[in-house]
């Protein structure tokens, strides 16, 4: 597990499980082009924002959980087009921060996968879903 006051990921391939926590007040941008091949947990417990895929897409091949436990915003698939989620996406919020998906168009959720509230719940804060392309068979 990595805990830091600032996290900026750019062009990294993770072949195992990943657990990343940002706990600082600084705003941080990760440009993207990261591949997560295992189970991934990303937490913002700080007051500053934390962005992923700010200019280039990310690929999540395993289940991913995004946690907001501080006052900061967690931007997922922020500006990078075509970020891929190839497994389930879990969201949890226990503080006043927010989790925001897809400032750019073209965020892809694989067939048979879902975005769901995780085990810690979504008790406060906000969740914004934008730019998500759902496979046709998942639409009602």
Indicate whether 83 belongs to any domain. yes
Per the domain annotation, does 135 fall within a domain?
Answer: no
Count the domains in the chain: 1
The verdict on residue 9 lying in a domain is yes
CA angle, 42 as apex, 37 and 46 as ends, to 5°? 160
> Is residue 106, in this structure, part of any structural domain at all?
yes
**What does pLDDT average to in each consecutive run of 10 residues of the chain (140 residues)?**
86 97 94 97 96 94 98 93 94 96 83 93 93 62
pLDDT at position 35 is 98
End-to-end CA distance of the chain: 39
Q: What is the pLDDT of residue 140?
A: 41
- Residue 115 belongs to a domain: yes
Q: Cα separation of 12 and 133, whole Å?
A: 24
For 36, the domain range is 2-130
Structure-token pair, residue 27? 């705003």
pLDDT at 134: 66
The C-alpha atoms of residue 62 and residue 25 are separated, in whole angstroms, by 29
Instruction: Judge whether 136 lies within some domain.
Output: no
> Within a domain: residue 139?
no
Is 90 contained in some domain? yes
In order of 17, 20, 49, 70, the CA distances from 39 in angstroms are 5, 11, 23, 22
Q: Which two tokens stand for residue 31?
A: 């440009």
């Amino acid at each position: 597990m990595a805990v830091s006051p600032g996290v900026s990921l750019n062009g990294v391939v993770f072949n195992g499980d990943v657990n990343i926590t940002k706990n600082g007040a600084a705003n941080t941008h990760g440009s993207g082009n990261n591949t997560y091949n295992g189970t991934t947990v990303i937490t913002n417990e700080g007051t500053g924002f934390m962005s992923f895929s700010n200019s280039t897409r990310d690929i999540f091949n395993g289940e991913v959980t995004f946690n907001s436990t501080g006052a900061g915003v967690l931007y997922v698939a922020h500006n990078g087009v075509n970020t891929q989620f190839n497994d389930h996406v879990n969201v949890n919020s226990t503080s006043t921060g927010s989790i925001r998906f897809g400032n750019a168009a073209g965020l892809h959720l694989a067939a048979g996968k879902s975005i769901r509230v995780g085990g810690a719940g979504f008790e406060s804060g906000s969740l914004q879903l934008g730019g998500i392309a759902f496979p046709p068979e998942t639409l009602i």
